[in-house]
Amino acid sequence: MNAEIFIILLILFLLVVIATPTLISLLIRKWLTKKGHPKIGNGLTIIVIIGTAYLIYTAIFPPTSFYEEEFEQQTGLKLPNSAQFLTKDASYPDLHGDYWSAAVVRLSTEDYNRLKKQLSEDAKMQRDTSKYGIGITTDFDKLTSDLDMNSIDMTLVSTRSE
């Protein structure tokens, strides 16, 4: 499938996803207005529009909880409470559901040392010895541009199945 067709299909899909709930709420609003309940109809329409906008926004810009869940899924560990997100980014899933996500967090020294020990002893976490190592995408490079990449002493990759 070439890029133009993909973009057209994506736009059509998004229009359907956005337009369908909005049109349904407008039809219900019209019906409620005829029944003498215009405020309820207006409120419903506003809620649907705000809800749809929120879902679209969080799909494009995932909340912090998304990155916490990703960490737990990939490591089998809970992200320490001292974690402060410095920067984060994720791609939108493609047609196959594949995406990438990355976050840069700051941890307390104790949490960092404990987490490093737990992850290095976990059989489902392996040292990344590939020639690329960490940061194989330009998006990740942008996220880590303020970091000293030479200070990274260990890169791990999860072998957990998704």
**What is the percent of the chain with per-residue pLDDT over 90, rounded to a whole number?**
37
At residue 147, the pLDDT reads 79
The DSSP bridge pattern shows strands 101-106 and 84-90 to be: antiparallel
Q: What is the mean pLDDT of residues 60-72?
A: 91
The candidate with the shortest Cα–Cα distance to 55, out of 90, 85, 83, 17, is 17
Query: Which segment of 12-21, 90-99, 126-135 scores lowest on mean pLDDT?
Result: 126-135
* Better-predicted residue by pLDDT, 153 or 9: 9
Q: How far is CA 102 from CA 7, 19, 68, 91, in A?
A: 25, 31, 11, 9
First to last CA, the chain: 27
Tokens 């490079």 belong to 141
Model confidence over 25-53: pLDDT tens digits?
999 999 999 999 999 999 999 999 999 88
In the predicted structure, residue 103 carries a pLDDT above the cut 90: no
- 76 — phi, psi (to 5°)? 75, 10
Give the distance between the most distant pair of CA atoms in the chain. Answer: 69
**CB under 8 Å to 85, separation ≥6 — which residues?**
64, 67, 103, 104, 105
